Amino acid sequence: MLLDMTSAFYSWIRGGLVVLFVYHFIIYIQNKDAIHKYYSIYLLCLTIYLIREVFTSETIQYYYQYLSFSIQYVAYASFIYFVRSLVDLKADFPKLDNLILILAKILLVFTFVLIAVQFFYGYEAQKIVVAYSVPFSTVCAFMVFYIISKKKTKQVFYLILGSIIFLLFANISSIKMIKGDYYLLDFKVHLRFYYFVGAIIQSVIFAVLIGNYLREIEDKKREAEVNLLKQSNQISDLKMTALQSQMNPHFLFNSLNSINNYVVQNKIEEASNFITKFSSLVRKVLQVTNENTITLKEELEILSIYIKLEQMRLKNSFTFTLEVDDVIAQEELKVVPLFLQPFIENAIWHGLSLKKEDKKLCLCIDLKEGNINVKILDNGIGLHAAKNRNRYQSKNKKSFGINIVKERLKLMYGDNTFVSVKDISDKNHTGTEVLITFPYVL
């Protein structure tokens, strides 16, 4: 029975692979995720390779000689992309990621080499080329497995286990192609029996792997949703906090919407990262809400978190530079809590967000003649253009924030303060400059 490639044993394995392919392809159609896309391609290629004996037509068999081996290397290339998506090699092992991408492209090129060998030298020559290439590919695969094994997760364990089993069985078939049917293992089975067995064992293990991966995704999604709910329950308190500390309530709502979008899109790591930073910002804001003053260092730490959140929401579309005079004692200088945030927010939303590219924001703080000079520069569309784009928001939101800052600075420093906002656009450049001056009092 095991010598007959049309027997029930081989048909059962082929049927199982077809079912798995259809299942993962349907999931890909529904979710458009890379993992199911590349794995379904991999399963399709394996199935095409293993159903050759089902067809009795001489014409089909003739063309199968061109397709039989080359389709395997398409499968291997798809498998590499599957591994990259599952393990996220680009983030953890960027150099390795570049190397295996090159390997995937080599495998795809090799498919055309095999077709050329078949055309010029025939099927037997193609078998020899494949048989000798498999051990080399196996060595490369084991090197990759060794490196990704450093990332100790269940996904990596199942991935390596299933791949090693399949490679071992595939190599047995390759060795028998070179040495003969009864070399190494003297069983009365077809030489491709081992390839079938390796493929089905790998598929079962990978079913566990992908199931475990999807379960973890769902767990992280639920956790993110719980965190989102917790954040939503704090909105009422945060509105008052925002009013007292000049944090725009719209920023809070937009941040929660960003978290929700990450969850909906299954970007769990991004959602978790955003929630962590957002929670840190909320905690720090709550800590300073009832404080009359905080240190400049604390002010800059809060501002740094806020800017990172805005960069994440705006897809890192702008760069931020901070320059602080070394003579300023950041841990001792007392400032009004969150006096910088309204100006930074205006620079981002009314200036930089309306510009298409090369967006820059700079905060410079220096000490001159006993005064702290704070300069906020952005190369956005400029104050006048922003007012023309949205007169109502520019007139009300921006002036409200500026007036609050002026009043609080005046309460702390008297009349020895200065706040100005001006358009610095000219024929070659656009932008806005904010200048805040107050006494250097420790």
* Tens digit of each residue's pLDDT (9 = 90 or more) over 278-295: 888 888 877 776 677 889
Specify the amino acid at residue 167: L
Q: Indicate the pLDDT class of residue 377, thresholds 50, 70 and 90.
A: very high
**Per-residue model confidence (pLDDT) at position 187:** 67
Note the residue count of the chain.
Answer: 442
Nearest to 244 by CA among 275, 287, 298, 276: 287
User: What are the tens digits of pLDDT across the range 351-364?
Assistant: 888 888 889 999 99
pLDDT in tens, 220-248: 888 877 777 666 655 545 444 444 444 55
Number of other residues whose CB lies within 10 A of the CB of residue 246 = 22
As given in the structure block, the two tokens for residue 349 are 């939303």
How far apart CA 362 and CA 323 sit, in angstroms, is 8
Per-residue pLDDT for 394 more than 70? no
CA dihedral 304, 306, 308, 312 (to 10 degrees): 180
Q: Which of 125-139, 173-187, 254-268 has the highest mean pLDDT?
A: 125-139
* pLDDT confidence of residue 391: 55
Q: In the structure, what pLDDT confidence band is assigned to residue 373 with cuts at 50, 70 and 90? A: very high
pTM: 0.52
Residue 54: pLDDT band (50, 70, 90) is confident
